[in-house]
């Protein structure tokens, strides 16, 4: 006789398989939710979130101030079309379970309160203000002085409710001489209506620290993915963003690094794949505010079936940042005549003792390349995949093996017109 656990597992698998067949996606039942806020956002909703989470008064005030900033700021009109978002058609807080393993009393107040919201303040931009008002969940990583975390820390974020807004926050503090690699994966089922993902990531790399933050996202095509990521690097610190963007209806994400200490180094590696009906508006920002700082931005984009990829970047060298060296490389690959690639680089140099370069290329998969590979026995589809894999190889080689394999597989599915 089957056990209750076996029966439950069988039903769960059957439900997932059925949903996958119907939607080419996945979702869980909403019956088990402990709390689900009504659609729309107002002051009462913000207060109820804080009360439900039993937060200290300073966090409640932080949320309410952020809500006022969100209400008073206009929707940005640059970049992607944000007027498509109906902010009143979103559930801003969903609690899946009552189970908690931690509470605020266990978090040292002098660490969270000192750094929380300092790198990205609530009034930074409209979407960061929204996150600050209604954020729920995320990650807090504190690496003590001299500690080197050998294994990557991994987190997984998933939108699991129709019309849901997901607003996680990540705060990483790497003390002097420490090292850490944080990896996040993001995904969502396919629903008939739109969802919103608006995250905030703040990173502090203190003297001689090294932080790498890797994102591999594969959102469904009805998700607005609007993320603010920013890091500060102090003396001789190294900060690296590795950003892989697949899926979503619209992505607007520009990881930033402020090089504040002498000898600090920053790197941004970015991949964006835009398919039919998608706009990947991504890039990066690096600000050199100290002498002898170095940086590189390496951005790759692929557009297919009428998809649109945009590189939007800022490189700024402040006065007094002597001995600075920086390089920006933007490469775009168009897979058909209907796709589009745009590049909007901004470079500001206020220091004569600096060395910087910018280069960009836009190319198509040419008939000559396909002919050469097909003459070696490959099919046209296999040849196209090989060209694309070679194009993104400089970024995928920086990923842990399992993530590199997964990213290549996801891109192969996109190339086949499938949903990964």
- pLDDT computed for residue 309 by the predictor: 94
Asked if residue 86 lies in contact with residue 69, where contact means CB atoms within 8 angstroms, the answer is: no
Measured CA to CA, the distance from residue 282 to residue 342 in angstroms comes to 11
Residue whose structure tokens are 């969502």: 188
Measured CA to CA, the distance from residue 412 to residue 246 in angstroms comes to 12
- Single out the residue of 83, 245, 89, 226 nearest to residue 161, CA to CA: 89
pTM higher than 0.85, yes or no? no
Going from the first residue of the chain to its last (420 residues), give the mean pLDDT of each consecutive group of 10, the final group possibly shorter. 40 36 43 66 91 90 94 89 88 64 57 81 91 89 95 81 79 97 81 80 97 89 91 98 90 96 96 91 96 95 92 95 95 89 93 92 79 81 79 80 78 60
Measured CA to CA, the distance from residue 296 to residue 292 in angstroms comes to 14
Helices assigned H by DSSP within 102-210: 109-115, 126-134
- pLDDT computed for residue 110 by the predictor: 59
- pLDDT computed for residue 103 by the predictor: 57
Cα separations in angstroms, 14 against 7, 98, 317:
11, 26, 57
- Which stretches of 65-137 are assigned E, i.e. beta strand? 94-95
Please give the helix or strand (H or E) that residue 16 lies within, else none.
Answer: helix 4-23
Measured CA to CA, the distance from residue 411 to residue 400 in angstroms comes to 17
- pLDDT computed for residue 35 by the predictor: 61
- Plot region of 373 (φ>0 → left; ψ -120 to 50 → alpha; else → beta): alpha
- pLDDT computed for residue 180 by the predictor: 97
């Amino acid at each position: 006789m089957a056990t209750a656990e076996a029966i439950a597992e069988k039903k769960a698998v059957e439900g997932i398989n059925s949903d996958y067949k119907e939607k080419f996606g996945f979702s869980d039942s909403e019956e088990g939710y402990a709390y689900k806020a009504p659609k729309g956002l107002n002051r009462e909703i913000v207060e109820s979130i804080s009360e439900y989470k039993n937060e200290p008064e300073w966090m409640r005030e932080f949320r309410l101030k952020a809500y006022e900033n969100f209400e008073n700021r206009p929707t940005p009109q640059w970049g992607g079309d944000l007027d498509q978002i109906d902010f009143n058609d979103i559930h801003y807080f969903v609690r899946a379970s009552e189970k908690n393993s931690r509470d605020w009393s266990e978090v040292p107040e002098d660490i969270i309160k000192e750094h929380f919201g300092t790198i990205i303040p609530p009034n930074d931009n409209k979407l960061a203000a929204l996150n600050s008002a209604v954020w729920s969940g995320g990650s807090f990583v504190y690496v003590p002085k001299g500690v080197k975390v050998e294994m990557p820390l991994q987190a997984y974020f998933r939108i699991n409710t129709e019309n849901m807004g997901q607003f996680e926050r990540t705060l990483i503090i790497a003390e002097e001489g420490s090292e850490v690699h944080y990896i996040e994966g993001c995904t969502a089922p396919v629903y008939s209506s739109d969802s919103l993902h608006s995250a905030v990531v703040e990173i502090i790399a203190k003297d001689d620290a090294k932080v790498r933050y890797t994102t591999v996202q594969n959102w469904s095509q009805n998700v607005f993915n609007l993320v603010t990521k920013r890091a500060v690097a102090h003396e001789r610190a190294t900060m690296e963003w590795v950003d892989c963007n697949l899926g979503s209806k619209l992505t607007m994400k520009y990881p930033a690094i402020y090089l504040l200490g002498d000898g600090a180094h920053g790197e941004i590696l970015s991949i964006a794949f835009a398919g039919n009906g998608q706009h990947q508006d991504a890039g990066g920002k690096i600000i050199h505010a100290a002498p002898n700082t170095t940086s590189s931005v390496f951005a790759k984009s692929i557009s297919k079936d009428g998809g649109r990829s945009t590189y939007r970047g800022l490189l700024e060298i402040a006065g007094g940042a002597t001995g600075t060296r920086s390089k920006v490389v933007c490469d775009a690959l168009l897979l058909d005549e209907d796709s589009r690639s745009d590049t909007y680089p901004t470079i500001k140099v206020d220091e004569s003792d600096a060395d910087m370069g910018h280069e960009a290329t836009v190319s198509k998969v040419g008939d000559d390349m396909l002919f050469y590979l097909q003459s070696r026995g490959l099919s046209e589809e296999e040849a196209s995949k090989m060209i694309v894999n070679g194009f993104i190889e400089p970024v995928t080689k920086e990923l842990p093996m399992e993530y590199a394999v997964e990213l290549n597989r996801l891109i192969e599915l996109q190339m086949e017109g499938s949903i990964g």
